[in-house]
Structure 1
């Protein structure tokens, strides 16, 4: 298991009375394991959980979110989940758990994020894979 970033940035903790709002951040470059690039992200509160290679529950787990405020670069549809929709967000897990080639990049179901609505406005759809 490889730890990537288990410490949240200063000032990103949720307020005691509820989650902090999601923020679209321009000028935040990310490159995934395939070489795909994004120049922006959405920073949102989230719960810890598995990051899956694809947007369905039978997909292999490649990482784990351990922080509670994380960034996401795009979204796509997948398996329905307890959030009442089929939206999944693409990110890089804080910890690589399996398949190190993928560097922890994968999808989390929207119910693990504090996004509202789903998909979150300003976040692009992921290109088909």
Structure 2
């Protein structure tokens, strides 16, 4: 975590102090509620409009995209290991798409978790 060297005054309010200490904008923090696991499933913020893939890997073929995840936050059934992605790991979360309702995989880089796989989420 990066701390700024400026001291926020009390008149600035808690939101500005949190911004300085955590480096995140207050609106962004409110837009993405914390992730949690319940009954082995994940409930978490994510990139809206992300593609769901037929298998846990990116491919150059459009037919491998089975649906789109438009919601944020979203429900994720479970996780699997697949292709390594830009998030620095190979964890993918399975969920239902918002257009056709088909099941597919989203790379963990598009799910706003602090750790992958997220603790308490079951393996598919």
- Same fold? TM cut 0.5: yes
Cα separation, 2, equivalents of 1:86 and 1:17: 26
- Flag as ranges the 4+ runs of structure 1 deviating above 2 A: none
Cα separation, 2, equivalents of 1:61 and 1:72: 17
1:46 match: 46
By how many angstroms is 1:42 displaced? 1.3
2:87 match: 83
2:33 match: 20
The answer on whether the counterparts of 1:64 and 1:104 sit within 8 Å (CA) in structure 2 is no
1:68 aligns with 2:72: yes
Task: Give the SS at the match of 1:16.
Answer: helix
The answer on whether the counterparts of 2:41 and 2:122 sit within 8 Å (CA) in structure 1 is no
1:123 match: 121
By how many angstroms is 1:120 displaced? 0.3
Deviations 1:45-86 (A, max 9, x none): 000200011101127111101111100111111111110110
By how many angstroms is 1:89 displaced? 0.2
Greater strand fraction, Structure 1 or Structure 2? 1
The answer on whether the counterparts of 1:24 and 1:122 sit within 8 Å (CA) in structure 2 is yes
Cα separation, 2, equivalents of 1:54 and 1:65: 15
2:97 match: 93
For normalisation by structure 1, the TM-score amounts to 0.67
2:11 match: none
1:35 match: none
Query: Is the radius of gyration larger for structure 1 or structure 2?
Result: 2
